[in-house]
Amino acid sequence: MANRSIQYKVGLFIVTTIVLVILAALFIAYKKDLFADLAMYRLQSESGEGLTQGMPVLFSGFEIGKVKDLELSDKGQVVITITVPRKHVRWIREESTFTLEKPLVGTPRIVVRTENPEGKELSYSKVVPMKTIDDINEVIKKAQPLVERIQSVADNIDRMTNADSELNKIIADTRKMTKMLSEKKSLLEMATGDKKGQETLMKTLEQVAAITETVDGTMKRIDGMVAKADESVLGDKGSIAIVNNILSDIEGKFKRLDTLIDNAITMSADLQGTTQDINLVRKEVEETISSVNKLIQDVRNSLPFEQKKEIKLP
């Protein structure tokens, strides 16, 4: 029989390890809210794709519950029952939104969003519709135009590399040109096709050079003429200087003329005043004559003299 010491050590080892395992299991159970009071809610989805029992329910990235059950309703929709520990119930309100998110990497999850945690608590009897966001489909949708562009580029490359393509024709032509160039002495000979043509072209070029020389000389002479004309027109004693002097003189004369005109205007104003004075004198003379006439008539009436038909005015 094994001695008591061995039995004690073995017993202690077994009991300690089993206790540790049980404690670890209980701790995990506690952390998994296995002993917590759970509240249940019901969600509704058009499809059960991506939904599994035990799927996490997240709020602000923190797991607050799990999917407990999935069932098909009479209307053909999926009813999802989720459980949430009582301590997290305040995040599940009537206006809370539930979204099934299927990320590109990682497991799908139901995400809860609650704007007002003080709102009315969601009731089990109310079945809340759930939205779905599928990252993979979103990526495919976004990548579709890119794939189409790549396809288009591939088609273009395919067309370009086709045996009958323009690119291949250009390459073939280039090859021909290179071959021709290697067989001819110069590019000119290749371009004209024969030696005579090259010689003719060379002669023409020489003639063009002679013409250019002549034109050059002519241009030099024209330049000299232009320089002389420039001197006679724009020089110190040129036409422009003389015209400038004449214009200055005319300007001075115009200034004097302006003074004369001003004087004439003043004189005209004075003359107008004088005319008005003459009118007044005339009026006074007329009045005087009229008074004298009246006086004469009075005298005539007073005196018994034959009245003469004519009266001599003073």
Partner 1 sequence: MNTSSWLEKLGGAVLDNWHELRQLLGFAYTVFRRLFAPSSYRPLTVDILTTQIYFTAVQILGFFIVVSVLFGSLFIGMTLFVIKEIGLTSYIGQFIAGVVVLEMAPLVTVLLIALRSGSAINAEMAVMKVNRELDALTAFNIDIARYLFLPRIIAVMVSVVLLSSLFAIIVTLSGLIFSALIFGMGFNAYADLIAKAIEYKDFLILMVKSAAFGFFITFIPLYYGSRAGYQLTAVPVSVLRGMVNVFIAIVVIEVLSLVARFL
DSSP-H helix ranges across the chain: 4-31, 135-161, 166-183, 187-192, 195-234, 239-302
Q: Measure CA 203 to chain center.
A: 59
**Closer by beta carbon to partner 1, 1 or else 246:** 1
**Closer by beta carbon to partner 1, 54 or else 314:** 54
Nearest approach, Cβ of residue 49 and partner 1 (Å) = 21
Nearest approach, Cβ of residue 25 and partner 1 (Å) = 6
Nearest approach, Cβ of residue 175 and partner 1 (Å) = 52
Nearest approach, Cβ of residue 71 and partner 1 (Å) = 23
Beta strands at 78-85 and 62-72: parallel, antiparallel or unpaired? antiparallel
Nearest approach, Cβ of residue 60 and partner 1 (Å) = 14
The candidate with the shortest Cα–Cα distance to 122, out of 221, 192, 41, is: 41
Read off the tokens for 88.
Answer: 């997290």
Nearest approach, Cβ of residue 132 and partner 1 (Å) = 22
**Closer by beta carbon to partner 1, 61 or else 273:** 61
Under the rule (CB under 8 A), what is the footprint of partner 1?
1-2, 6-7, 9-10, 13-14, 17-18, 20-21, 24-25, 27-28, 31-32, 56, 63, 106
CA distance 44 to 61: 22
Dihedral sign, Cα of residue 290, residue 293, residue 299, residue 302: negative
**Closer by beta carbon to partner 1, 32 or else 141:** 32
Phi/psi of residue 70, nearest 5 degrees: -130, 135
CA distance 272 to 187: 99
**Closer by beta carbon to partner 1, 85 or else 238:** 85
Read off the tokens for 266.
Answer: 């003043």
Asked whether 72 and 48 are in contact (CB, 8 A), the reply is: yes
**Closer by beta carbon to partner 1, 56 or else 238:** 56
The candidate with the shortest Cα–Cα distance to 127, out of 98, 102, 88, is: 98
